[in-house]
A and B are shown apart, each in its own frame.
Chain A
């Protein structure tokens, strides 16, 4: 098992990672070189090629920071600062995480409710589905400020408006996945329930719900990532004081490119973590439902 996973999983992933870092370094050099040349000319310094390359990787506000600059920024702001500090990435990630999780929970519940309605009521199937699809074509960046402003006007501020944007993005994959999942039982399995004269509720709880569980987790993986995007987008246009989104905005405002990249990395790590957690729960549930070990 172990050497197998090393060969089949870790090495391919590592290969891609190394290539990305290599391309990134090369790109950093070419992106930052013109400005560095400018600086050197004005200061009338001549440097060797190696020194010059080194300088392109050590600018305080580079166009494209080198990987090691971002890594050291992330490390510094994650482990070396108190978690209550405004500069701590942990603090900002926590703020974003809380609205992500709240929005994701509401979105998942909404999505499940919509799916149950669509599967059981023909009228909802016909009337609701086109609206649900249309809802996802609305650009969220345009909607987010309106949501925050409108809710702010009726004195709903703080966590909930941000979470609502996450809800808006996350209910969709869950609704679509659950409609598919609740309809996944085969005709033969439904016929079987009919021969038992099972009630609608019994068919729902004993057949449709368990059959839909794998679909639920697949769509929840998509939904949690979308929730995070929603939370970050919710922080961007609203003058939020905390969260990965506000960190991105503030860093952009002051051209702190290294901080932007660090916040991006923090967001990605958060996303990977959340998707992994959902994946692990999915695996545990699958095992307890008799899933064949892969």
Chain B
């Protein structure tokens, strides 16, 4: 199976399905998902709650197991990919350990993966700089604002050598102004690190602003209803959100979301 994938495909899913068995009967969290994420892509998953966007990300990360279909991550099964530490995962909450300083939090994956002390130090410094938190390494999480904490958690996911970054609504709990700022920073970071990013969100402007591709999903059963290639240039100042091009893509996303919803309400 891995041989069939071109080397540029980072995530490749075909006919992927996941059914949770609950006491109320089976819940089809994902059904028939066909999707390929290529190296260097910034792919956003957008849809109402219950559409399976987070579940799909968790399947990539091997935090959930698919019950149907095929999926490969870096040409491996998700479990192999996890065991070879192929991805960094950013959760909805920062999930920093309160008893560790910011730099110790960033060191956590490095300690677990056995990086040397000198290497750890260099990587902490570099990733702190990447997320604009230089000088905050000795602080404890509670001394930082919510936005800074989430940036620290992104630094933690970037610290080790994984080319794939999985982000599950990382800015969902932050206010609009902070979110704009972090979106801008994330794009710069993506350009600098050349990582492949899968990004779950429920904000249309966020998805359009960030992505090279937008995957529109809808619930019951969770499925992909539309995949939109962005025509926006790679260089994106925040003002790009006022351009007709941007608004047109946003319009298409909105149409896609509405189509997925229409037949059940």
Question: Is the A/B pair a real complex?
Answer: yes
A interface list, Cβ under 8 A from B? 186, 188-189, 191-198, 202, 206-207, 210-211, 213, 289-290, 292
Residue B85 CB within 8 A of the other chain: yes
CB within 8 Å for A192 and B91 given contacts A197-B85, A289-B99, A292-B142: yes
Q: By the criterion CB–CB under 8 Å, are B82 and A191 in contact?
A: no
A188 touches B97 (CB 8 A): no
Residue in contact with A202 in the complex, picked from B91, B93, B99, B112, CB distance below 8 Å: B112
Contact status B100-A194, CB under 8 Å:
no
Chain A neighbourhood of B63, CB < 8 A: 191, 194-195
Residues in B with CB closer than 8 Å to A195 are: 61, 63, 82, 87-89
Of A197, A202, A207, which contacts B82 at CB under 8 A? A197
Q: Shortest CB–CB separation between residue B216 and chain A, in angstroms?
A: 26
- Inter-chain contact total with CB atoms closer than 8 Å: 52
List the 8 closest pairs (A to B, CB-CB), nearest first: A290-B140, A289-B99, A195-B89, A188-B95, A198-B112, A196-B112, A210-B99, A196-B109
Beta-carbon contacts under 8 Å, B66-93 to A: 82-83, 85, 87-89, 91-93
CA distance A16 to B91 in the complex (A): 50
**Cβ–Cβ contact B85 & A210, under 8 A:** no
A188 x B93 contact (CB < 8 A)? yes
**Complex: how many Å from CA A191 to CA B166?**
13
- Nearest CB of chain B from residue A285's CB, rounded to whole Å: 10
Q: What 0/1 pattern do residues 42 to 64 of B give for CB contact below 8 A with A?
A: 00000000000000000001110
Across the interface, do B83 and A197 meet the contact criterion of CB distance under 8 Å? yes
Contact assessment for B91 and A188 in the assembled complex, using a CB-CB cutoff below 8 Å: yes
Q: Identify the B interface with A (CB < 8 A).
A: 61-63, 82-83, 85, 87-89, 91-93, 95, 97-101, 108-109, 111-113, 140-142
Q: How far is the CA of A3 from the CA of B111 in the complex (A)?
A: 46
Cα A194 to Cα B100 with chains together (Å): 19
How far is B87's CA from A129's CA once the two chains are assembled, in angstroms? 40
23 pairs, A vs B, C-beta closer than 8 Å: A186-B95, A188-B91, A188-B93, A191-B63, A192-B91, A192-B95, A194-B82, A196-B109, A196-B113, A197-B82, A197-B83, A197-B85, A202-B112, A206-B108, A206-B111, A206-B112, A210-B97, A210-B99, A290-B100, A290-B141, A290-B142, A292-B140, A292-B142
* CB nearest neighbor in B for A192: B95
Residues of B within 8 A of A194 (CB): 62-63, 82
**Which of B61, B62, B99, B140 has most chain A Cβ within 10 Å?**
B99
CB distance from A137 to the nearest CB of B (A): 35
Question: Is A189 within 8 A of B85, CB to CB?
Answer: no
Contacts of A196 in B (CB 8 A): 85, 108-109, 112-113
Closest approach, in angstroms, between the C-beta of A215 and any C-beta of chain B?
Answer: 13
User: Is B99 in contact with A290, judged by CB distance below 8 angstroms?
Assistant: yes
Q: In the complex, are the beta carbons of A191 and B91 less than 8 A apart?
A: yes
Known: A189-B95, A195-B89; 18 extra A-B contacts, CB below 8 A, are A186-B95, A188-B93, A191-B63, A193-B112, A194-B62, A195-B63, A195-B82, A195-B88, A196-B85, A196-B112, A197-B82, A197-B83, A197-B85, A197-B112, A198-B112, A290-B99, A292-B140, A292-B142
Question: Which one of B85, B91, B97, B113 lies within 8 Å of A207 (CB-CB)?
Answer: B97
Residue from A206, A213, A290 having most chain B Cβ neighbours under 10 A: A290
Q: Which residue of B lies closest to A207 (CB)?
A: B97
A198 to B83, CA, bound (A): 9
Cα(A206)–Cα(B95), bound, Å: 14
Q: From residue A86, how far is it (CB to closest CB) to chain B in Å? A: 48
Inter-chain CA distance A213–B109, complex, in Å, is 22
Give chain A residues whose Cβ lies under 8 Å from the Cβ of B100.
290
Shortest Cβ distance from B29 into chain A, in angstroms? 17
Chain B residue contacts of A290, Cβ below 8 A: 98-101, 140-142
Residue numbers in B under 8 Å from A210 (CB-CB): 97, 99
Question: A281 to B101, alpha carbons, bound, how many Å?
Answer: 21
List, in ascending order, chain B residues with CB within 8 A of A192's CB: 89, 91, 95
Q: Which residue of B lies closest to A193 (CB)?
A: B112
A198 to B85, CA, bound (A): 10
Chain A residue at smallest Cβ distance from B95: A188
Residues of chain B lying within 8 A (CB to CB) of residue A202? 112
Residue of B nearest to A290 (CB): B140
Assembled-state Cα–Cα distance A206/B140 (Å): 16
Report the nearest B residue to A198, measured CB to CB: B112
Are A189 and B82 touching (Cβ within 8 A)? no
What A residues does B97 contact at CB under 8 A? 189, 207, 210
- The interface residues of chain A lying within 8 Å CB-to-CB of B93 are 188
Alpha-carbon gap, A197 to B109, bound state (A): 9
Rounded to whole angstroms, the CA-CA distance of A191 and B141 in the bound complex is 19
The chain A residue sitting closest to B94, CB to CB, is: A188
- Residues from chain A with a CB closer than 8 A to the CB of B85 are 196-197
